Amino acid sequence: MMTGVKRTFPPTASLVPLCGLLLAVAAPLAATPVNPAPGHPAEASYQFVLAKSLDEEGDLAGASVAFERALELDPGASYVRLEFAQMLARWARFQPEPEIRRATLERAVREVGRAASELDRNLDALRAEGDVRLALLSEDENDAAALAAAVETLEALRVVAPGDLPSLFTLGQLYQRRQRPREAAEVFEALVAASPGYPPVYPLLAQALLDSGQADRAEEPLRRVLENQPNHDAARVALADILSRRGDHRQAVAVLRAAPEGLKSPEARTRLVTESYFAGDLEGALAELDALPARQAASRYLRLVRGLVLAALGNNGEALGLLEPLLADGGPVEPDVAATVARLLAREGRAADAVRTLQDHAERLAASGAADRALAAEVQLARFYAEEKDWPAAGALLDRLAPELAGAEAELARAARLLAADVALEQGKAAEALVLLTPEDGSKRLEVLVRSGRAVEATAELRRLEEPGREDALLAAIEAFHRAKDFTTTLAPLERLVASRPEAVLPRFLLGAAYERTGQAERAIPVLEELVKLDPEFHPALNYLGYLWIDRGDKVEEGIELVRRALAIDPANGAYRDSLGWGYYRQGRWEDARRELERATRLMPDATVFEHLGDALRALGDLAAARRAYQRARELGAEDPSVLDRKLSDLDTGRDGAPRN
C-alpha cells in the first residue's frame, strides 16, 4: 500500500448505500492515493475500493476485473495502475499454466512501466516496478532481457533511495547472477555503509570481493562482523572459506573453533569437519563427525568425508564400508573417489574387485553421457594397473583409449601420455616411450634416456639447461634424474643452483636428497636444517630430516617432532607414518611403533615399511607375525634382500629380540 500522498474520496450521494463497505476497507486504504477521475470520480473510486477488497479476500480474478474497470474510468490513475500491476504479479504465482503465468507477468510489467513513467519514476513507482520485474525474472532466471531490466530499475531506485536496504541487497545479488562481481561488491559495500548492522550482507560482500579478484579485501568485512557478533556462524563460514581457498586450512579451523558458544548451524559444523580433514587433523575431524546429530552425520557428503578420513588413517575396512555404497547409489562421484576405493580394495588384497570398481564407474559415467569424466575414470584404471605393476594391462588399455585421448582436455591427455611412456619403459620399450613424448615432456624424456642406458645423452641435455633463465627446466630435469635413481650427476648443478639462489626451497631439498642418496649424510643434514628454517611448512624436508635424525639415532626425539609436524600437514602420507613408527621403535616404544607401522602398511604397502613392522613385532615377541611381515617385504622387492634373509634365518634359529639395523 502506498504512503505519503493524501487520498481523495469526493462526497457524493451515490456512495451513501456503500457506507458499510467503505467503513470496512477505509483503514487499510487510508494511505493509498488515487488520482481523481475527471469523468466518473465516484465510480472509479468505488471500483478501486472494490478491487482492493476482493484482493484482500483472495478473489484475484474479481479484483482484476475491478482494477480494469477503475482504470477504464480513470486512465490517469497512476497509483491505481501501480497497485494493479503488483496484484497481477501476485496473481501470476497461482496460475498453473506457464504460458498464462508468463502472460500475466508481462501484463504486470507493462502496467507498472506505464505508471512509473507517468509518475516520473518516483520512489513508490520504482519500488513497485522493481517488485514486478523481479517477479518476471523469477519465472525464468536465464531471461537475460528480464535480468537487465530488473537491474536497470533497481539502479534507478538506488539513485532515488541510496540507502534502501532491500533494493540494494537484491541489486547486488542480481549483479552476482550476471557474473559481474565487481559491481556486486560496489553495491554490497554501499549497503554496508548505509546499514552496517545488517549481517546477511557480509558473506555476500566477501564472495563478491573474492570473485572480482579482491581477496585481500574480503577478510576485513567478515572480521568486522565477527567483532560485533562473535557467534555469527555465517560470517565464520565465509571467512573460513576465504582462508581455505588460500590453502590455510589450519587457520580456517582456528576461525571456526573460535566461536565463543560453539558453532550452531549445520553448515558451519559441516565446514569444521571438512577443514579439519584438509588441515590434516584426522582425529579432530572424526571427533567433530561423532559430535554431529545422527541425521546430519548420515548425509551423503559427510559419509564421504568420514570414509576419506578413515582411508587416510589406514582404516581400510571401515573406509570401504562407507565409500563403496556411495559408488553404487547413483549419486555424483568423482573419479578420484572411485580411485580411492580401488586402492583401498587393493590394500585389502582385492585387486580384482578394485579393477571391477573402476570399470563399473567408467561405464556408469559413459551411460550418463559424461564422456569426459568416463575417459578420466578409464585413465585412473590404467594408472591402477601400473601401480599394481600389471604393465601389459595398462598398456593395452592406454592403446585402446588413444583415439579418445587425442581429442581430450590437455591436462588429461598429457597425464595419459606420460603414463604410457612409463608403461612402455617398464616393458623394455624405451624407443617406443620416446616416440610417445612431445617437446613439452622434456623431463620425462630425460628420465627415459637415463633409465634406458643413454645417460651420456641425458647428461648433455642437462648441461644445456644450465643457462640463466632456465632454472625451472633445469629443476625438472634434475628431478627426472632422481626418479631414474641417478643422484651423482645432479650434485654439481644443484650445488651451483643453491649457491645462486640460496633462498629457493626446491633446489636445496633436491641437493640434500642427492647428498644423502650418495652416502653423504653429513653434508645432507645442514642443507636440510637450513631449508626447514627457510620454510617450516615444507613437509617433505621435515620428514626427510626427521627420518635422518631418527635413523642415525643421535636426535631421535627431535626427529620425531619434525615428522609429527610433517604428518600434521600431510596425515595420509604412508612414508611419514613409517618415519614416526621407526622413531618410536628407536625409542623402544614397541607397541606405539607397531601401531604406527601397521597404519603405514595400510597406507603404503612398501618393502621398507613391512621390514620396519617386522622389527617391531619381533621386539614384541610376536615372531609369527614378524615372519609374515618380513616375507611380505621380500615379496615387495627390498633393496637388500640379504638383510631380510638374515632376519628370517634368525627367526628360524630362535634368535629373538629387537634387531638393530
pLDDT tens digits, 122-172: 777 777 777 777 777 777 767 778 778 877 877 787 787 777 777 787 788
Assess contact for 37 and 77: CB atoms under 8 A: yes
In this predicted structure, what is the pLDDT of residue 36? 43
Distances, alpha carbon 386 to alpha carbons 102, 183, 418, 426, 594, in Å: 58, 50, 12, 9, 30
* Higher pLDDT, residue 177 or 501: 501
Crossing angle of helices 335-347 and 371-387, rounded to 10°: 20
CA distance 128 to 115: 10
Q: Contact, 158 vs 167, CB < 8 A? A: yes
pLDDT tens readout for residues 524-582: 999 999 999 999 999 999 999 999 999 999 899 999 999 999 998 888 899 999 999 99
What is the rounded average pLDDT of the residues 69-96? Answer: 85
DSSP 18: G
Contact criterion met (CB below 8 Å) for 338 and 327 = yes
Query: Closest Cα partner for 447 from 505, 490, 500, 412?
Result: 490
Cell of 374: 568416463
Q: Using one digit for the tens of pLDDT, what is the confidence trace for 443-452?
A: 888 888 888 8
Residue 210 confidence (pLDDT): 79
Residue 623 to residues 578, 601, 648, 652, Cα–Cα distance (Å)? 20, 18, 10, 10
Confidence at residue 289, expressed as pLDDT on a 0 to 100 scale: 94
Residue 9 in this model has a pLDDT that exceeds 60: no
Helices and strands per DSSP (H, E), number in the chain? 37, 0
Mean pLDDT over all residues of the chain? Answer: 84
Indicate whether 492 pLDDT > 70: yes
Average pLDDT over residues 511-522: 95
Read off the DSSP letter of residue 329. Answer: S
Which tops the pLDDT comparison, 216 or 252? 252
Judged on CB neighbours under 10 Å (0-12, 13-18, 19+), 476 is middle
* Of residues 365, 418, 427, the one with CA closest to residue 393: 427
For residue 447, give Cα distances in angstroms to 476, 482, 573. 10, 8, 25
Q: How many CB atoms lie within 10 A of CB 312?
A: 22
45 or 397, which is more confident: 397
Report yes or no: 168 and 200 within 8 Å, Cβ to Cβ.
no
Which of 18-32, 297-311, 344-358 shows the lowest per-residue confidence on average (mean pLDDT)? Answer: 18-32
Residue 42, judged by CB atoms within 10 A of its CB (0-12, 13-18, 19+), counts as: middle
Q: Give dist(CA 477, CA 441) in Å, integer.
A: 10
According to DSSP, residue 15 is labeled G
Between CA 338 and CA 358 the distance in angstroms is 6
| Exposed/middle/buried for residue 132 (C-beta within 10 Å: 0-12, 13-18, 19+) | buried
pLDDT score, position 27? 32
pLDDT at 12 over 60: no
Which residue type, as a one-letter code, is found at position 159? V
Q: Across 4-18, 117-131, 464-478, 559-573, which has the greatest mean pLDDT?
A: 559-573
Band of the pLDDT at 22, cuts 50, 70, 90?
Answer: very low
What does the pLDDT average to over 94-123? 84
pLDDT band at 334 (very low <50, low <70, confident <90, very high): low
Instruction: Print the SS3 string covering 292-313.
Output: CCHHHHCCHHHHHHHHHHHHHC
User: How would you classify residue 657: left for phi > 0, otherwise alpha for psi between -120 and 50, otherwise beta?
Assistant: left
pLDDT in tens, 267-295: 999 999 999 988 888 889 999 999 999 99
Confidence of residue 34 (pLDDT cuts 50, 70, 90): very low
- Extended beta strands in 585-641, E state: none
- Res 306: pLDDT: 94
Q: How far is CA 378 from CA 6, 160, 209, in A?
A: 74, 59, 39
Q: Which residue has the higher pLDDT, 124 or 395?
A: 395
User: Band of the pLDDT at 655, cuts 50, 70, 90?
Assistant: low
State mean pLDDT over 43-47.
86
Q: Residue 398 belongs to what H/E stretch?
A: helix 391-405
Question: Is the pLDDT reported for residue 52 higher than 50?
Answer: yes
Query: Which stretch of 111-120, 429-438, 474-483 has the lowest confidence by average pLDDT?
Result: 111-120
pLDDT given at position 393: 95
User: Is residue 16 pLDDT above 70, yes or no?
Assistant: no
Q: What DSSP state is assigned to residue 1?
A: -
For the residues of 215-278, what is the DSSP string, one character each?
HHHHHHHHHHHHHH-TT-HHHHHHHHHHHHHTT-HHHHHHHHHT-TT---SHHHHHHHHHHHHH
Question: Per-residue b/e over 140-158, b at no fewer than 16 CB within 10 Å?
Answer: eeeeeebbebbbebbbbbb
* pLDDT computed for residue 592 by the predictor: 94
The single residue listed with the C-alpha cell 532515488 is 160
Residue-wise pLDDT tens digits, 164-220: 777 787 788 778 777 888 888 888 888 888 877 777 787 788 888 878 888 778 788
CA distance 381 to 397: 8
